[in-house]
Amino acid sequence: MPDYPHPAHKSPLAREALQASTRRGSIRVIEHALWEARGLRLFDYPEDLVVGLEWLGLLYLLEARPARAEPSLKDALKCRRRQLGVDHPQVRYLLALLTDAYEEQGKPVKAIPRLEQRLAADLPHGTAARRTVRSRSKLFGAYWSAGRIQDAFGLYRDALASCERTYGPDAPESVDLRHQLAWTYLDAELPEGIPLLERNITALQRADCPRPLLAFRRGELGMVYIWWGRASDAMNTIRQGIDDIAGLNNNEARLVHRNLLRHVRDAQLLEMHQRPASPSSDP
């Protein structure tokens, strides 16, 4: 096991679980609490349950049951990455445990050295070349499966930096890679992807790109704002997208306009949900 401290003991669930006479008893306590919370979305878990996930993964590892530890550690890692960011010590701690779980199941991704060599061989064709993109994507998946999250993100960060030096920050190749990196973060429930999408909007404006494409990208950013509860930013961005295609009447513009209107409705629902309740007027 890695030489890291245990998860927090101050959680009521952790204290209750650790009072059990055996590890399996502790596991039953935590699993029962998680079963009772089965109606909650993962990111709505209270801190008590997130700590419970951390302990459950650790206890299963100590019981030499890495396959049972893996899903708990993955869920705990998703929560902590969203709360604390990818560089926080608690996130690194969970990554170390998850890596142990993979290794004990014989899952250290053996293909990683081969995929690294393949990417190195493809890079001379250009960071944005199709074969390089394909190799990078495969290596990213391998790093991710092995718990090497920082290495996975680093692939796209390094590629974007190289592309910006070669082609310029507003070049189509840089915009495409920035978009890939943004969604790599967002798929991991990390907000670091949002400023990358915002920067791409600026790049597309400078490049005088087709108006439907700019409007579509604004709608995409508006949708992400909605996911992160930023109703006002979403509404402003989506309205800008509608303005972008004002006066256009081709099929592409009409399709984008319909999508933007759907995003407007979603943003309005979010605004209504976030609006504070009116004080009671009862005498």
Q: Tell whether 6 is covered by a domain.
A: no
217 in the same domain as 198: no
120 in the same domain as 194: yes
Contacts with 175 (C-beta within 8 Å, 6 or more apart), sequence order: 200, 203, 204, 207
For residue 48, give the CATH number of its domain: 1.25.40.10
Closest CA to 152 of 166, 141, 167, 165: 141
135 in the same domain as 193: yes
64 in the same domain as 122: no
Q: What is the pLDDT of residue 14?
A: 85
- Residue 258 banded pLDDT, cuts 50, 70, 90: very high
Residues 188-241 pLDDT 10s? 888 899 999 999 999 999 998 999 999 999 999 999 999 999 999 999 999 999
Euclidean distance between CA atoms 168 and 225, whole angstroms: 27
Closest CA to 185 of 229, 212, 224: 224
126 in the same domain as 96: no
Residues 21-31 pLDDT 10s? 888 999 999 99
Is residue 192 a contact partner of residue 228, using CB atoms and an 8 Å limit? no
Euclidean distance between CA atoms 44 and 226, whole angstroms: 16
Q: How many domains are contained in the chain?
A: 3
Sign of CA dihedral 242, 245, 250, 251: negative
98 in the same domain as 133: no
75 in the same domain as 155: no
Residue 60's alpha-carbon distances to 36, 42, 72, in angstroms, are 20, 20, 9
Residues 165-186 pLDDT 10s? 888 999 998 999 899 899 988 9
* Neighbouring C-alpha atoms within 13 Å toward the C-beta of 39: 1
Q: What is the pLDDT of residue 1?
A: 43
Q: Check pLDDT > 70 for residue 2.
A: no
Q: Tell whether 57 is covered by a domain.
A: yes
H helices, E strands: number in the chain = 13, 0
